[in-house]
Structure 1
Amino acid sequence: MSQSAALPGPRIALPLLPGLLLCGAVAGAAALLALAQQALFGRAWLDGLVLAILLGTGLRSLRPLPAATAPGIAFSARTLLEIAVMLLGASLSLTTLMAAGPWLPLGIAVVVGLSILCGYGIGRGLGLPRRMAVLVACGNSICGNSAIAAVAPVIGAQARDVTAAIAFTAVLGVGLVLALPLAAPLLGLNDLQYGTLAGLTVYAVPQVLAATAPVSALAVQMGTLVKLVRVLMLGPVVLGFSLLAGTRAGQRPGLARLVPWFILGFLGLALLRSLGLLPPVLLGPIATVTGTLTLLAMAALGLGVDVRVVARAGLRVSLTVVLSLLLLGLAALGLIAVLPPG
């Protein structure tokens, strides 16, 4: 009795080990492929997160996975992902937002809100299930993978829905990074306006840098600022879905159920960063841990999905993503038109 009570940790951790090792192998292969692209072409055309999903899905589709890997894969796809979303809050600072003045963040909030509503409506109109429509709408409107990952556990989305939403938004995101600089001369925007457009439409912060760097340093700075403000919408959006989920269930859950722990952590870290209470020396390691955990979680999501399930939803998801992104682009151009020009 005393021996079993003294060793709860290893007995809990051992069942997770095979799945964690498999996720680690897939994530490592994806990271190496991303580095190889960077070395050969000067940039990674397919992000490591996307590659992790593709490799995991391909492995799962080639042959059945050992049953022993299931607990570790499930742990990585949920718990590690929630930790990564929480740590994302350390990259956000309200100080930068306040320096931009009130109209820009207010406009971004309006654009994000309208984009979510329109994206959800398009998805439902095309026959997507409710949860899938929510995932695609949030991924398009806020920050792609991170938004989909954060919203998924709150609305009870299944792994196949998360994987399909991330896969299609990620592929389109790569195309957007390539196309946007080419379209810049046709749009007649100055560098600040172009940076605003890129920050409002491109999914990930590194992709914003890739889309704005060919234009100017000013476009890079504006694009990054707008993108960070857009990412900041993640907390309120997830909180809103938590409130809706509690209301639909007809329950009055406690704070821990109403607001997921990782969202409380996300907001708490963002507040600490804004108040200067988070030591700058920790920001680099936190970003590294966040990226690593997210990569492991994406590998787990891929390993949890049969490609045939994703393929069946492909056309509708693709149309939803494309149409939603077009509407987001129009809304972004509308915001640029009403903002002060400088």
Structure 2
Amino acid sequence: MHHIIKRHQAILPGLGLSLIVAMIAKVIALALPDLGGATLAILLGIVLGNTFFKQDYLASGTKFSESKLLECSVVLLGFTVTFQTISRLGMNGLIFIIAMMAIVIIAVIFIGKRLGFSENMGILMASGNAVCGSSAIGAVAPAIEADEDEKGQIITLVNLLGTVMMLTLPIIATSLFGKSLLAHSALLGGTLQSVGQVVAGASLINQQTVQFAMLFKITRIIFLVVVVFIFQKRHQKHQKIATTTKRAFPIPWYVLAFLIICVVNSLVALPKPFSDSAHFISTWFETIALAAIGLRLDLKKFIKEGPKFLIYGLSVGSVQTIAAIVLIVLLKIR
């Protein structure tokens, strides 16, 4: 009991700061509605996190805000989405996701080999970029028996790349595809590494893009089971071993919860105040989480990473972006 209280106390400073930054962002957004609270929260977080609020005691709370509140935000999104909404992605949307994942996995492993990275690091980089960032890396690492150093280096690189793409892809999306909701959503939801980056990047366009980009993203996450299975079998074949190691179920709990709520929402007409309340809470959780993402972003890490890592990251980001743009045009996702 004492341990639980202590852990909650450790979370409070960072959580409180994330909430304050989110509230300030919402107030400023009243004067700058084009930017919006979510965008301002992450930008304000980046500025404050790299100047005044670098203290270690804030880390537990900002990490909690970034991960748990964002996960809850995704779950609540289920109350605003039905199968009718998901069906708008269409068969071409599903083909886009499968093609993107295949291209990214093959290209990332190939680029990694050319740059002299180990096979395990290439596989982890491929999983993180093709599926869902750190979560995918965490699920694939034990399946291929990757060591902690490899895992830590790739998680850092994937997060750095995702942050750069999160800030640049919304500009590319609006420049190339005008006001096309599905094209914007496919570009962001089909490429960005973590759920937080998808939400943050899509928020720079509008709230509707957040909703649809998340559908693309969640479909990618569902395929995590397949990716883990393929890489595990590949590793076993290369090592000529049969592993019986038990691992946690690879699909994150919030994706399953989102899908269950989506099923209920599709079958039963929920009262409007209920869905409105879910949307309101989801938006606040999202804004607080984005403030925390900004507060946790260490700009010095961009400079610290060696040139080989940076070349790998930029090469992978370029492949993802170009592949997504080409597929959106070919599959007419508009």
Q: What 5-or-longer segments of structure 1 have no aligned partner? A: 1-7, 185-190, 214-219
**CA 1:230–1:257 in structure 2 vs 1: closer, same or farther (change >3 Å)?**
closer
Instruction: Give the alignment's TM-score, normalised by structure 2.
Output: 0.64
**What does residue 258 of structure 2 align with?**
266
> Corresponding residue for 2:239?
none
1:66-98 C-alpha deviation (Å, 9 max, x unpaired): 4xx666556555544544444444444322233
Aligned: 1:174 with 2:162: no
Q: C-alpha separation between the residues in 2 aligned to 1:85 and 1:46?
A: 18
Aligned to 1:236: 222
| Distance of aligned partners of 1:73 and 1:207 in 2 relative to their CA distance in 1, 3 Å threshold | closer
- Letter of the 2:98 counterpart: V
**1:202 equivalent in alignment to 2:188:** yes
* Residue 275 (structure 1) aligned to one of 242, 267, 271: 267
Equivalent residue runs for 1:249-328 within 5 Å: 250-251=243-244, 253=246, 257-276=249-268, 279-297=271-289, 308-309=300-301, 311-313=303-305, 319-328=311-320
Partner in structure 2 of residue 5 of structure 1:
none
In the alignment, the residues of structure 2 paired with residue 114 and residue 165 of structure 1 have an alpha-carbon distance, to the nearest angstrom, of: 18
Q: Is the 8 A contact 2:97 2:216 kept in 1?
A: yes
The match for 2:109 is: 121
Name the counterpart of 2:99: 111
Number of aligned residues: 306
Q: Aligned letter for 1:286?
A: A
| Distance (Å, rounded) in 2 between the aligned partners of 1:285 and 1:160 | 40
Cα distance in 2, alignment partners of residues 175 and 324 from structure 1: 14
Equivalent position to 1:97, from 86, 89, 94? 86
**Quick check: 1:48 aligned with 2:41?**
yes
> CA contact under 8 A between 1:160 and 1:310: conserved in structure 2?
no
- TM-score with structure 1 length normalisation? 0.63
Q: What pairs with 1:60-209 in structure 2 (closer than 5 Å)? A: 61=54, 64-66=55-57, 72=61, 75-76=64-65, 79-99=68-88, 101-102=90-91, 104-118=92-106, 120-121=108-109, 124-125=112-113, 126=115, 127=117, 129=121, 133-134=125-126, 137-138=129-130, 147-148=132-133, 151=136, 154=139, 165-166=158-159, 168-183=161-176, 195-202=181-188, 204=198
Counterparts of 1:170 and 1:208 in 2: how far apart (Å)? 13
Unaligned runs of 5+ in 2: 142-147, 190-197, 236-241
Task: Check the 8 A contact 2:185/2:202 in 1, yes or no.
Answer: yes
Structure 1 vs Structure 2: percent identity of aligned residues?
17
Q: Distance in 1 between matches of 2:56 and 2:212?
A: 42
2:217 maps to a residue whose letter is: V
Partners of 1:199 and 1:175 lie apart in 2 by 14
**Shift of the alpha carbon at 1:100?**
5.6
Contact 1:119 1:136 in 2 (8 A): no
Provide the rounded CA distance (Å) in 2 between the counterparts of 1:27 and 1:237: 33
CA contact (8 A) 1:58 1:307 kept: no
Distance 1:76 1:209 in 2: 17
**Residues 292, 11 of structure 1: alpha-carbon distance in 2 compared, 3 angstrom cutoff:** farther
Q: Tell me the amino acid that sits aligned with residue 284 of structure 1.
A: D
